[in-house]
Amino acid sequence: MQAVAAEFNISQTCYLTRIPNSTSPNTRFPLRWFTPVTEVTLCGHATLASAHTLFTTGLVNSNIIEFDTLSGILTATKVPDVSPTNVSEVQNGGVTDSFLIELNFPTVPATDFNSAEASLVSKALNDAPFIDVKRTTPADDIFVIPQ
């Protein structure tokens, strides 16, 4: 999978397969994402595209899809669109099926930065003003809330 992602050389390549006899009441698919150099733990746009493809092609007969990922089980729910636009409309034998997709992603625990670390982040951002800085655990990612 990594070799193919490297050959495609795009920001994210997504791999979706079906679990034939899952014990889950919902349709479940393993989902993995790769950059040209590494596997990543989460990719929202590829998850949304996967759910859209599964819902619109009729490959699932459910309104809920579960994706088994490195980040845990992610769910995609097909919900009616009360104000349809052309983007979400799909023709089904002359009947328009307008829907939205709600994604449920895992919560990432975060801790506060101390003031010394925050000043380093500020310098790295060319002294751009921000409201807050958080560090995620266990991935140790940095989230900056701009002003």
Do 94 and 119 lie in one domain? The reply is no
Do 129 and 62 lie in one domain? The reply is no
The pLDDT tens digits of the residues spanning 27-50 come to: 889 999 999 999 999 999 999 999
Mean pLDDT of 100-121: 84
What does the pLDDT read at residue 118? 79
Do 16 and 84 lie in one domain? The reply is yes
Do 33 and 83 lie in one domain? The reply is yes
What does the pLDDT read at residue 88? 47
Distance CA 52, CA 117 (A): 41
Alpha helices in the chain (DSSP H): 2-8, 44-57, 115-124
Q: What is the pTM of this model?
A: 0.71
Mean pLDDT of 92-98: 57
Do 57 and 124 lie in one domain? The reply is no
Helix (H, G, I), strand (E, B) or coil at 82: coil
Question: 118: domain range?
Answer: 110-146
Do 130 and 66 lie in one domain? The reply is no
Q: Are 101 and 49 contacting, i.e. CB atoms less than 8 angstroms apart? A: no
Do 69 and 97 lie in one domain? The reply is yes
Distance CA 90, CA 129 (A): 44
More confident residue, 97 or 57: 57
Do 124 and 70 lie in one domain? The reply is no
pLDDT > 70 fraction of the chain, expressed in percent and rounded: 87
What does the pLDDT read at residue 85? 59
Do 98 and 141 lie in one domain? The reply is no
Do 117 and 89 lie in one domain? The reply is no
The pLDDT tens digits of the residues spanning 49-73 come to: 999 999 999 888 889 999 999 999 9
Do 78 and 120 lie in one domain? The reply is no
- Count the alpha carbons within 13 Å of 137 in the hemisphere toward its beta carbon: 5
Mean pLDDT of 86-92: 51
